[in-house]
Amino acid sequence: MQFSAAQIAMIINGSIEGDPGTAVGSFGKIEEAKKGQLAFLANPKYEDFLYTTEASIIIINEALKLRQPVNATLIRVPDAYSSFAQLLGAYQELVAKQLKGIQQPSLISNSASLGENVFVGAFSYIGDNVQIGENVKIHPQVYIGNDVKIGKDTVLHPGVKIYQGCKVGANVTIHGGTIIGSDGFGFAPQTDGTYKKVPQIGNVVVEDNVEIGANCTIDRATIGSTIIHAGAKLDNLIQIAHNVEIGSYTVIAAQSGVSGSTKVGKNVMIGGQVGIVGHITIADGSRINAQSGVTKSINAPMAVTGSPAFNYAAALRAQAVSRNLPELEKRIKELEKQIQMMLEKAV
């Protein structure tokens, strides 16, 4: 597909410097883009590439002052990064609209309800009494269990598995290999040292505008629901245990895990490889640094780091002190010598 500078400027509400008829058919990074590609410049560190790139169209900030002439057609916007993201979204939506119909082989229950303009990729399975909204895109090899509900404009990438009874909202994106609704990790210890499985009869509820990365696992509740609230964003390789709640607009980076029944508040930022124990609460607006281990509730918004995690500012002070320990040890030994000499003189 080819798009002109005039068409692109209309989508992102930008102003053109150069030829409005310049056309592009793909995207490229500004440092390596070729003719016929569109690039963007948001980070000043890459400004030198603006004058050497072969890109045909470049999106730049309104405030940027050129140091020399540029060969490409420019589109100026208030925020080049946001406008580029907007353009990519529009392009992705356009591509998605071309996916329609039901590919074969696939198995769809006669009791399932599919909305208009739904796409079902080959080798997918849709169980009994499933309800799927309009414009949903189900890529190949997706499994949707009985009684699942999926809202409009949601995208399920290849290999997604959604177990029975779970609910997924509108405009949700779930990437390949993710499993929604697997059993929570519940086993009751017995007197003979064995474990008896506790049936997990709840479900998972994923609200609107959530994005879940690849190869995540979100366990169904023992009773009730594991809930990912509206607008939350989960990276790849994340484990969410049974009966957890993730607050609206919270973001979690890769390889993090949240143990059972923990309640994570709204607008929380969780770095990569964070571990959070079960049955605690994380206050709205908290910040948890990468590789932290959170072992108790965070009752007021704060930044924490370390394992066990504690206040970020205090952690920095502790690190500064630890770096000075060799010098402090030397000074203490010197003071001990001086005290010993004073005591000997006094005798």
The residues carrying an active-site annotation are 242
User: Are the CB atoms for 29 and 45 separated by under 8 Å?
Assistant: no
Rounded (5°) CA angle 135-137-140: 155
Give the integer Cα–Cα distance in Å for 340 and 55. 76
Bridging pattern class, strands 167-168 and 149-150: parallel
Pairing of strands 281-282, 3-4: unpaired
Q: Are 222 and 183 in contact (CB under 8 A)?
A: no
Q: Which residues face 282 on adjacent strands? A: 264, 298
Nearest to 61 by CA among 43, 35, 49: 43
> Do residues 40 and 61 lie in contact, with contact meaning Cβ atoms separated by under 8 Å?
no
**Is the bond preceding 301 in cis, omega lying within 30 degrees of 0?**
no
CA distance 312 to 289: 8
How far apart are alpha carbons 287 and 283 in whole angstroms? 9
Residue 172, both tokens: 């949700």
Residues 29, 31, 33, 34: what is their CA dihedral angle, to the nearest 10 degrees? 180
